[in-house]
Amino acid sequence: MKRLIFLLMTLVLFLAACGGGNDSASNGEDGEFKERTWKIGFNTVEGSVRDVAAKKFKEVVESETDGAVTVEIYPNEELGSAQEMIESVKVGALDMQIAGANMMANTIPEYATLSLPFLVKDFDEAHAVLDSEIGDKLKAMGEDQGIKVLSDVELGFAQITNNVHPINKPEDLEGLKMRSPNDKSLIETFKALGSSVSTMPFTEVYLALSQGVVDGQFNPLDAIYETKFHEVQDHLALLNLTYYYSYFIMNQGAFDGLEPELQEIVQNAANEARDASYEFTANKDEEMLKKMKDSFVEITEPDVAPFQEKVKPVYTKMEDVIDPEIIKETETFLKEYRAEQ
């Protein structure tokens, strides 16, 4: 039923977009922007970093257009699953989405590059890659799919939780049933660590954890806290396993159809949304740990080196999925970046 409702909504939105094309083509005769409403969807809850970014985008766009453009925010998969929303943006049935790069990798495999385990060590390295020619190349890949990538939105580094035992070494993950997003690099990472992997939408994870359908999951601390995973998990391992980020996306044709002044406003608003996400995550881990420390039976900080060694084969496997040149370029860039620091 939920899927039927989503498909009907997609059809209605698409027909409305077709019928409303003139509204997005030009300003009114008096030079003011015509009134229009844009919808932004994402799969995390209100108060999450995606929500913070969406609200910043809304604030800037509505201010810069003197309220002519209204931005409506729909969190928690209210407009469909993450993958369904990506497809809706591609066909112009949904205006915008803050979509996980790892989810978009189902459409554009290279978007899983930064999902490779332990590829980047910290936020500065991640930002450097995304701000480089590599980042520009990744963004441009959306165009062939009808997607305009406006900016990135930071989510944070993924940490591991589970209900079975503390994680201190790679062998502790053997046999655990782990939930993963449908990202091949992450799936292969946990297979390399000996876990069995189950993929499911983010909104279903809490119930799956509470009912024992899966033993554990991995997400940034903010996501763990905001979705209350700490209430149904006993053990937390701080590993900075992989860098999580989203792309702020819009239908390419819809963006191209905007007048240049409004395009500039949209791009600037997306850049401010990115900056808001960076600011939000900068000191969030320490705050989240303080809030959750009494909920976990044990919090561990394992030595990363044995885990890095265990997942090395993932890089080779992913060369069958991701353009090997992108992986090589990113590794070379990071090597040079680290040498300069």
Q: Is 2-108+123-155+245-283's fold the same as 159-242+285-340's?
A: yes
* Per-residue model confidence (pLDDT) at position 31: 54
* Per-residue model confidence (pLDDT) at position 18: 46
* Per-residue model confidence (pLDDT) at position 19: 40
3-state secondary structure 205-273: HHHHHHCCCCCEEEECHHHHHHCCHHHCCCEEECCCCCEEEEEEEEEHHHHHCCCHHHHHHHHHHHHHH
For the domain made up of 159-242+285-340, the CATH class stated in words is alpha beta
Other CB atoms within 10 Å distance of the CB of residue 124: 10
- Spatial distance between the Cα atoms of 214 and 324, rounded to a whole number of angstroms: 32
Give the tens place of pLDDT for each residue, 144-186.
Answer: 999 999 999 999 999 999 999 999 999 999 999 999 999 999 9
- The answer to whether the beta carbons of residues 85 and 39 sit under 8 Å apart is no
Task: Mean pLDDT check: name the lowest of 28-32, 131-135, 284-288, 297-301.
Answer: 28-32
Residue ranges per domain, the chain?
Answer: 2-108+123-155+245-283, 159-242+285-340
Those residues with Cβ within 8 angstroms of residue 67's Cβ, 6 or more apart along the chain or in another chain: none
Give the tens place of pLDDT for each residue, 17-74.
Answer: 444 433 443 454 455 899 999 999 999 999 999 999 999 999 999 999 999 999 999 9
Give the tens place of pLDDT for each residue, 204-231.
Answer: 999 999 999 999 999 999 999 999 999 9
Mean pLDDT over the full length of the chain: 92
State which fold the 2-108+123-155+245-283 domain adopts. D-Maltodextrin-Binding Protein; domain 2 (3.40.190)
